[in-house]
Structures are given as structure tokens and as C-alpha cells.
Amino acid sequence: MGILDQLMEKKDLLIYIEVRIAALKKEQNTAIKLPEKKRELTRRIIAGRMRELKTLKSMVHHDKLKEYSKDNWSDLMTIES
């Protein structure tokens, strides 16, 4: 895989993350109309997803995604065996 392919993949991933964060912000605004119990749960779920996306975005920016993925795979294999 050439460097151009890698840059396009990184760019595509960052665009996806930005679009998903924007969609979650919109969803967060519509959650205000929900009953209080559902509103709090929805708010927590959305906040968690946004945190995950921001962490992923940081990893992509610092080119750490591949290392993180390999570490998690190794940990998963250790747990399963």
C-alpha cells in the first residue's frame, strides 16, 4: 500500500469521525425533549460515544491507531487462551 492510500484512509477516517460527532451533537439536542429518565441515560450514552470518537481521532492524528490495535489484539488473545 502506497503512502497516498494511507493518507486517503486517514483522511476518510477523520472525516467519518467528524461527521459522527456532529450527528451525535444533533442527537443530543433532540434528547432534551425526552422524559427525564430517558434523557439522562441518552445523555450518558451520547457522551460516552463522543469520548470514544475523540480518543479515536487523537490516535489517528498521532498515528498510534495501528499500535493500539495490535496491543488490544494481543490482550484479547491472552484473555481468550
Mean pLDDT of the chain: 85
Quote the cell numbers at residue 81.
Answer: 487462551
Whether 44 has a pLDDT exceeding 90, the answer reads yes
Could you read off the pLDDT of 26-36 as tens digits, one per residue?
999 888 888 98
Provide the pLDDT for residue 1. Answer: 59
CA–CA dist 42, 15 (Å, integer) = 24
Which position has the higher pLDDT, 22 or 63?
Answer: 22
Averaged pLDDT, 5-30: 86
Q: What is the DSSP string of the chain?
A: --HHHHHHHHHHHHHHHHHHHHHHHHHHHHGGGS-HHHHHHHHHHHHHHHHHHHHHHHHHHTT-HHHHHHHHHHHHHHHH-
